[in-house]
Structure 1
Amino acid sequence: MKRVIFSADDFGLDPAVNDAVEIAHRDGLLAAASLMVGEDAVEGAVAVARRNPGLRVGLHIALVEATPVSDPASIPDLVDASGRFPSDMVRAGFRFFFKPGVRAQLAREIRAQFEAFRRTGLALDHANTHKHIHLHPTVARLIVEIGRDYGLKAVRLPVEPGGPVARAENAAAAGGFGAAALRTWTGQLKAMLKRQGMVTNDQVFGLAWSGAVTEARVAALIPHLPDGVSEIYFHPATSLTPKLARTMPTYRHADELAALVSPAVKRLVAAHGIECTSFGELAEATKTRVAA
């Protein structure tokens, strides 16, 4: 059986993202969005979610290239001189792993983001991270341990099989050391999530095409989706605002929105017998099976 979750990241980052999420859910295939609780447009995103109760909203935990929820003075080892999370994920990853004091600050910030999400009053559908930093085992462990206090039941597994992407583009699958390392990290994350009883997807699409998940690419991918649960994640926006131009200058936000509302993509999904779902629906089905 093939199922797919159409989702959007960076909900709450910018009003143009919020508008696109609402359009894509109301008029297209978007089932879920992941909320950045520390960004300026978070209140507008919450209003969109309240107007659209069928939209499943999760927490997009941001620990790099983002604004913290905690007072920067309380997490000095996580932020730069401007009080924001820096972009150097490699350096951050080493410090998360080797420095207990940094890990304590990391736990404080992750809890603060879950707490900020709870204050919105929205049901927590899932969690994932900005730039997929939960591939780091320390980050993943803290998200699961802390998230349980807030009802977390589902986490994104950022593992993208190269075969379907290559067939969609009529190209050879990517390989090499980087691909092998990513498989190792995602394998470890998958095992940990399974041990902790978290619901997750089997594969994700959007990594290789980040910022350019266009209608043509999605249409080419649909016939090659593997069995199981696939998440296809997008970064839609109605326009390239100054903030988006500064943070994601090469992303084709409007084209990604067009893919989500494409009648052709919707027809392809139906023609291939693919069921659209969400993390919350998967968690509910798992709970029902366990109870039975």
Structure 2
Amino acid sequence: MRRLIVTADDFGGSPEINKAVIKAHLEGILTTASLMINEPGADEAIELAHRHPTLGVGLHLVLCKGKSALPHEKAPKLVKPTGFFEDSPLRAGLKYFFDRALKSDLKKEIELQIRKFRGTGIPLDHISGHLNIHMHPVVLDILLDLHKIYSFPAIRLTYDPFGLGLKLDRRNLFYKITHATIFSFLSRRNRPLLIKACLPHADRVFGLLQTNYIDKQYVLKLLSHLPEGTSELYVHPGQHSSHPEMEALLSQEAKQVIRTNQIKLIRYRDLQRS
């Protein structure tokens, strides 16, 4: 059986993103969205999520290049005076790994974002991370501790198969090599921990190696070569220059390939029922 979760990241990032997410869900193949709980469009996204309960909505954890839940005064080494995190995911990742004194503040920030999401009344579909920061060893270990309290229904394990990625599209080769190397290592480290914690996750996640290059041609090829098991494709509709992604999500050809290949579109929460 082939099952596919199609997720829009950065839900709540702006009114344009929110509009695109709902359109892609109602008219296209989108099944879930990942909500940035602290961003300017979050309140509108929450209202839209309540009006469209068939859309699975998860928490898109922000720990770099975005706004924090904690004020600067409560976590001065983690949060800038402006109320934002470090912009660079590389610098943030190194800081979180080597400055272990930050772990307490990181846990407070992560738990506050989780509690803010729970306060919306939206059923939590999954946990993911902005720029995949949730795959960071320190962050993932904190999430596993919090899973004992909050019982997350699922989490994104970001593993985008390099060989299949090259078969689908050979553009942006250096980016593909570097990111496949980093996230293959992280997924090998994290997958056994998720299995031990009984945390559902997809077998593979597409989108990482195709950042900024997702279009209808790529999606059609992916659907035609989708492996057995559960896969996720994450996209960023409604953002600058993301028109090719919307075209892919709304494509009648994509819907036809899904029907022909008997691919079942699901949300993360559906993994618990299988």
Q: Same fold (TM over 0.5)?
A: yes
How far apart are 1:252 and its partner, in Å? Answer: 2.8
Distance 1:163 1:98, change over 3 A: closer
Can you give the 5+ residue segments of structure 2 that lack an aligned partner in the other structure? Answer: none
Alignment of 1:200-279 (within 5 A): 200-237=201-238, 251-279=240-268
How far apart are 1:73 and its partner, in Å? Answer: 1.3
For residues 207 and 160 of structure 2, what CA distance do their matches in structure 1 show? 8
Identity over aligned pairs, percent: 33
> Over aligned residue pairs, what C-alpha RMSD do you find?
2.0
For residues 170 and 237 of structure 2, what CA distance do their matches in structure 1 show? 25
Which moves more between the two structures, 153-162 or 175-184? 175-184
Contact 2:161 2:180 in 1 (8 A): no
Which moves more between the two structures, 100-109 or 73-82? 73-82
Distance 1:181 1:151, change over 3 A: closer
Which moves more between the two structures, 161-170 or 38-47? 161-170
Q: What SS does structure 2 have at the residue aligned with 1:6?
A: strand
For residues 142 and 8 of structure 1, what CA distance do their matches in structure 2 show? 24
Distance 1:259 1:146, change over 3 A: same
For residues 216 and 273 of structure 1, what CA distance do their matches in structure 2 show? 19
For residues 42 and 148 of structure 2, what CA distance do their matches in structure 1 show? 23
- Runs of 4+ deviating beyond 4 Å: 170-178
Distance 1:53 1:178, change over 3 A: closer
Q: How many residues align?
A: 273
- Residues 1:29 and 2:29 aligned together: yes
Cα deviation code 1:79-100 (max 9, x no counterpart): 2342211123333323323434
TM-score in terms of structure 1 length: 0.88
Q: What SS does structure 1 have at the residue aligned with 2:124?
A: coil
Which moves more between the two structures, 188-197 or 98-107? 98-107
For residues 235 and 172 of structure 2, what CA distance do their matches in structure 1 show? 23
Distance 1:86 1:170, change over 3 A: closer
TM-score in terms of structure 2 length: 0.93
2:180 equivalent in structure 1: 179
For residues 116 and 172 of structure 2, what CA distance do their matches in structure 1 show? 44
Letter paired with 1:254: H
Alignment of 1:190-205 (within 5 A): 190-205=191-206
Letter paired with 2:247: A
